[in-house]
Each structure stands twice: as C-alpha cells, then as structure tokens.
Amino acid sequence: MSLTPEPAGATEIGTASPAAVGARPSDARVATKERLALLRRSKSFIAGSVIVGFWVLCAIFGELVVPEDPLASDPINDLIAPSADHWFGTDKLGRDVFSRVITGARDILIVAPVATILATVLGTALGLVTGYFRGAVDDVLSRIIEAFLALPVIIMGLLVAVALGPSKTTLILTIGILYAPIISRTVRAAVLTERELEYVAAARLRNERTPYVLFGEILPNVQGPIIVEFTVRLGYAIFTAAGLSFLGFGIPPPAPDWGLQVAEHYSVISGGFWWTVLFPSLAIATLVIGVNLIADGVASAFER
Amino acid sequence: MLPGDVARRVLGPFADQASVDALNHQLGTDRPLVAQYWDWITSFVTGDLGESINNRPVSDVLSDPIVASAKLALLAFVIVVPLAIAGGVVAAMKEGTFRDRLISVGGLSATAIPEFVWAVFFILIFALGLGIFPTTAQFPEGASIFTQVKYLLLPAACLVCTLFGYIARMARAGTLEALDADYTRTAVLKGLPQRTVITRHVLRNSLLPTIAVVATQAGYLIGGLVIIEVIFNYQGIGLTLLRAATQKDIPVLQSGVLLVGVVYLVATLIADILYSILNPRVRLGAAE
C-alpha cells in the first residue's frame, strides 16, 4: 500500500486516448507525470524542499560535522554569548548551542514523519471503511472518531504523556492516533464520491473481494487528497511535537530537541541570554515554514 | 484513568505501605474504577467537583484560572477576528497579487509556527529589545484594565499569530466565492456603487463560513493557552492543568479537562446555531 506516486511511464501526454477502454492505468500515469511537472515548476515547493532538505542533511550528518558534542556540558563556560568559539553561544550547562541546534533536527525529523505516516495509514484505512460501507459501520466508527476529536490535541497529548510517561514512542503514538481521525474524514469524503462511480460498480459485479475493491480500486483514485493531507499534517505534527516537547511531555532531556531547549531556557530570557532560546526557535520556525511551502506546492499540484 | 498509585504519588517513595493504603482508602482510590467514576460524574453535574490532593475544593482551584484564561482568550479573539476577516477580504479583492500571496501564504506559515516560538520572538523584541512590554503576563493584583491589557498584549499577540492564517483563509475563500456569484454580478450590473455591493452582497455571504470556523478554532486556542500561559507564567487554566498533570492531582485534572471539553463543545454548538441564524438557507432548509 505505497502512497508514493508510481514512476511516470513512457506514455506521452498526447498519446493517451481517452476513448480507449482500458485507458485508466495510463491516464493515471499521465496525471502523475503532469503533477510532478507542476511540482517541479512550483516555486514554493522548491523553496520548501531546499529548507527541509537542509534540516534533513543536518539530521543525518549533523553529529559528524558539529564542532562539539551536543551533550557535553562544561559548567565553567555556561551562558557565553555567541563568539568565534561558540557561534550560537553556550547554554546554562555550558553546552554548545550551535551543535545542539544542528543535531536537534534528528529527533523532530524522526518523530513527526513517523507519526504522520502512522496517522495517514490509520486514517486512510478508517476513511476507506467508513466511506465505503456507510450505514451502521460508518455511524459507530464516526461517533468514536468524534469522541477523539472532542478534546484539543495538546490536552489529549498531555493526558497520554502523563499516563504513559514522556518518550519518543509515546509522542509518535499520541500524534499518530490523534491525527488519524482528521485524515480519515478527508479520505471518507473522497471515498463517498468515488464509490458511486462506475468502475467501483464494475469491480463489484466482477465479484471482486471487498478488500480488493477498497485498496486495489478506490485507494489509487483517492491518492491525491491523501498525499495533500499527508504534507499538511506533517506541518501540524511538527507543531504539536514541538509544543509537547516544550511542555516537557515530548522527548526527554538531555536530548538536543529544539522545543526542550526553549523550555529549559525561557526562564533565563529576562537575564538577557537571548541566544539560548532564539536559535532553537528559529530552527523550528524555518522547518515548519519549509514543510508548509512544500504542502502549498503539493496542494496546488494535486487539487485541480 | 491514569496508571500509578495516587497515594504513593502523594506520600512519596519512602512512606510505608500501611499509610499508602490508608490514604488510598480515604481518597476512595482503592474502590473499583466504575464506582469511582459514577460517584465523580454524579457530583460533577450537581456542581460538587470534590477536593484536590492538597485538600482545596477543586472548584476553588479552578475558578480563578478560568477567569484569567477567559480574559486572555477574549483579548486574542477581539484582536484576531476583525484583523483576519479584513485580511481575508483584502486578499480576495486583490486575488493573485503580491498582497494576496503575503496574506494567504504568510498567514498560513504564521499559523504553523508554534506559539512558544512566537512568544520567544515577541519577548526578545518587545520586552527585552525595546522594553515596552513586561516579560510575564501576570499583572499585579488589582491592576487597572489598561495595565492588564498591557500585560496580556504579548501573549495575546502569539495566539493571534497562530489563529490569523486559518480564519483569513476562510474569509478569503468565502469572499472569492461570493464575488463570483450571480447575485454579485447582478448587483454590479444594475449600477450599485462598489461599496454597497461589497458590504450588502459580498460580505453578508462570505462571512458565514468564516464564523463557523472561528468557533472551531476554540480547540487550537485552548491548546495554545496552555503553552502561552507556561511561557508567560500566567495563572490560567492551562498552567493549572499542567501543574495538576505533573503532580498527578487527578481530581483537578479530571474536572479541568472535562470543563475544557465542555467549553469546546459549547463553542462548536454556538457556531452551528449562529450559522443557521445568519444563513436563512440552512434555517429554511431544515424546516422543510
């Protein structure tokens, strides 16, 4: 059940004949190709990819290139202002802020995408089932989903973190499960229109098994909204993960997580130690803006 | 339904098992969960929220913070709603121009930046850099309304930043749709001045979906309040819930979360009702 678009085939846009009976697969391939071409031309997509790409590189190679161990404390040299030795200064334990900001990309770039993939898979399955079956199944599942949505995400995350204790896994599960209902609503709406189309009726008349109709026939046709929803939710996942980390319910110390760095140092802001909070904040801000630019590009390419 | 022994949490790891059991019995936390829940929910509806683990009535613990949070939320809403609607309408009128891109893309990017990041930026610029605002939101006891607003302006501004984009986008979408509609064309063609067309025909229709969205933002607002209250050290419901969560003060946490849920539901309900009052089509459609 791969969500990535298939690689574009050799079919040219002009050669796909809409009249051909078995034209659906090649039509889909042409559409995918057109979308990718649109994406390549989208300024916001390119700008977003550059920003996010930078942070992905930091997440993968950051530990190798940073000047100091991000966890090594040096209490004698605490709260030093930015200088040639410490580009972003040092924090209240004397740790190098530059090294911590660069390596801090890793945790959030593991937590947010994994949580979003979890939410997308769960939400897609739920949306397909509720949209396709309607009736009692839909009613029961939809009420349960609404119960999940009855509390703000941050409050739910706070309760779960208190119950299970803060950890990366808790954070991923919380965000993944809380965002699944939101994604399922979008998928459900798309499935509701798809299920009335002739190809679904044809598959049913061919006596195809229901899982095949759901995942083999309908799923490829609701790909667009799912991909758009994934990129949008990724932005929100970063937002929520950073917020929970800031509250102390995310990634536990001494990890160089950005939200955690702000949480550990906002009490010293009034002492004038601005570098301890400014740089992690800028890191979060650029990452979410990058993801949002990508989402903007994807949305305009996939929603005609 | 949090795991972990409540009495053990209160008394600490060195208390002997007998006193832990005794406290659990006194608090009722040794009884079956269903029985505990029934007792709690029946007294909740009669207004008795029980006592916190520090022996203060829960209603006392929660009442002041709720008022405080409401003040902050109200200030944020009073600023953001007119601003975002105006922004959305301007973006729609100038569709495709730089101003439109700035408001819609910039607004959404602002929405995606976490509240505490805005708080850091604002505190660094306006409180430390320029020194025109205080770094905390906790105004002195008995402060005048102007002082209170001064203290609350920075936290409210952070909430405004995270709410602006979404509301503006809805206002923009609604206005675009209304500008495109036949009745707008008719109004223009029959020679009404542009002002009249905008206020009487476009805005009346375009603001409907926006109003529904404003109320659904209540959820984000509450989540944002928790974070903003922590960073600005403001004694509101968010900070109270957070403290209750870390101290495992279950009675306060339970009632506080339920209250938040109720506020959230009421906001959504009000949105639905407002929507049908303002939109005759929905009202008449339902009556058929």
**Residue B259 vs residues B48, B62, B159, B276: alpha-carbon distances, Å:** 13, 10, 21, 26
- Give the pLDDT score at A12: 38
* Nearest by CB: B220 against A152, A263, A274: A152
DSSP state string for B28-68: TTTS-HHHHHHHHHHHHHTT---B-TTSSBHHHHHHHHHHH
**Residue B285, Cα to own-chain centre: how many angstroms?**
31
Closest CA to B66 of B278, B287, B259, B209: B259
* Nearest by CB: A152 against B1, B120, B222: B222
If one compares B227 and B142, the residue with the highest pLDDT of the two is: B227
* Nearest by CB: A243 against B128, B227, B265: B227
B122, B154 contact by CB (below 8 A): yes
**Residue B132 vs residues A267, B135, B146, B153: alpha-carbon distances, Å:** 19, 10, 14, 11
Angle, CA B267 vertex, CA B266 and CA B272 arms, to 5°: 95
Q: How confident is the model at residue A56 (pLDDT cuts 50, 70, 90)?
A: very high
- Give the pLDDT score at A94: 77
Residues of chain B whose C-beta is under 8 A from some C-beta in A? 1-3, 105, 108-109, 112-117, 119-121, 123-124, 127-128, 135, 219-220, 222-224, 226-227, 230-231, 241-242, 245-246, 248, 253, 257, 260-261, 264-265
Please name the amino acid found at residue A243: G
Residues of chain B in contact with residue A235, where contact means CB-CB under 8 angstroms, are: 112
Residues of chain A in contact with residue B257, where contact means CB-CB under 8 angstroms, are: 151, 155, 159
pTM reported for the whole predicted model: 0.80
- Give the pLDDT score at B2: 46
Q: How confident is the model at residue B93 (pLDDT cuts 50, 70, 90)?
A: confident
Three-state DSSP state, A90: strand
CB contact under 8 A, B242 and A150: no
B63, B49 contact by CB (below 8 A): no
* Nearest by CB: A239 against B114, B219, B222: B114
- Over residues A174-180, the mean pLDDT reads 89
If one compares A121 and B204, the residue with the highest pLDDT of the two is: A121
Please name the amino acid found at residue B260: V
Judge whether residue B176 has pLDDT over 70.
yes
Q: What chain B residue is nearest to A247 in terms of C-alpha separation?
A: B227
CB contact under 8 A, B116 and A158: no
- Give the pLDDT score at B44: 65
Most confident of A75-89, A142-156, A229-243: A229-243
* Nearest by CB: B120 against A158, A272, A278: A278
Q: How confident is the model at residue B4 (pLDDT cuts 50, 70, 90)?
A: low
Find the largest Cα–Cα distance for chain A: 77
Ranges A143-147, A169-173, A207-211, B25-29: which has the least confidence? B25-29
Most confident of A15-19, A132-136, B10-14: A132-136
CB contact under 8 A, A284 and B113: yes
ipTM associated with this complex = 0.78
Length in residues, chain B: 288
Q: What chain A residue is nearest to B265 in terms of C-alpha separation?
A: A150
Please name the amino acid found at residue B239: L
CB contact under 8 A, A151 and B242: no
**Using alpha carbons only, how large is chain A's radius of gyration in Å?**
23
Please give, rounded to a whole number of angstroms, the shortest distance from the CA of A197 to a CA of chain B. Answer: 28
Which of B101, B104, B109, B117 best probes binding to A when mutated, by most A CB atoms within 10 angstroms? B117
Residues of chain B in contact with residue A150, where contact means CB-CB under 8 angstroms, are: 261, 264-265
Which of A116, A158, A174, A236 best probes binding to B when mutated, by most B CB atoms within 10 angstroms? A158
Most confident of B6-20, B28-42, B45-59, B220-234: B220-234
- Over residues B105-127, the mean pLDDT reads 86
pLDDT digits (tens, 9 = 90+) for B221-257: 888 888 899 888 888 888 888 888 888 777 788 888 8
* Nearest by CB: A285 against B113, B231, B245: B113
Query: What is the token pair recorded at B73?
Result: 């939320």
Query: What is the token pair recorded at A113?
Result: 């995408």
Residues of chain A in contact with residue B135, where contact means CB-CB under 8 angstroms, are: 269-270
Q: Cα–Cα distance between B165 and B91 in angstroms, integer?
A: 12
% of chain A at pLDDT higher than 90 = 16
A100, A74 contact by CB (below 8 A): no
* Nearest by CB: B124 against A151, A152, A278: A278
* Nearest by CB: A151 against B112, B114, B260: B260
Residues of chain A in contact with residue B114, where contact means CB-CB under 8 angstroms, are: 239, 242-243, 246, 259, 284, 288
Angle (deg, nearest 10), helices B237-246 and B58-93: 130
Q: Cα–Cα distance between B13 and B7 in angstroms, integer?
A: 10
Closest CA to A130 of A185, A193, A176: A185
CB contact under 8 A, B120 and A277: yes
Angle, CA A161 vertex, CA A155 and CA A163 arms, to 5°: 105
A258, B94 contact by CB (below 8 A): no
Three-state DSSP state, A96: strand
* Nearest by CB: B2 against A162, A259, A269: A162
CB contact under 8 A, A155 and B260: yes
Judge whether residue A4 has pLDDT over 60.
no
Length in residues, chain A: 304
CB contact under 8 A, B112 and A262: no
B238, B227 contact by CB (below 8 A): yes
The size of the A-B interface in CB pairs under 8 A is: 117
If one compares A55 and A35, the residue with the highest pLDDT of the two is: A55
- Give the pLDDT score at A223: 87
Q: What chain A residue is nearest to B219 in terms of C-alpha separation?
A: A152
Please give, rounded to a whole number of angstroms, the shortest distance from the CA of A251 to a CA of chain B. Answer: 16
Please give, rounded to a whole number of angstroms, the shortest distance from the CA of B119 to a CA of chain A. Answer: 10
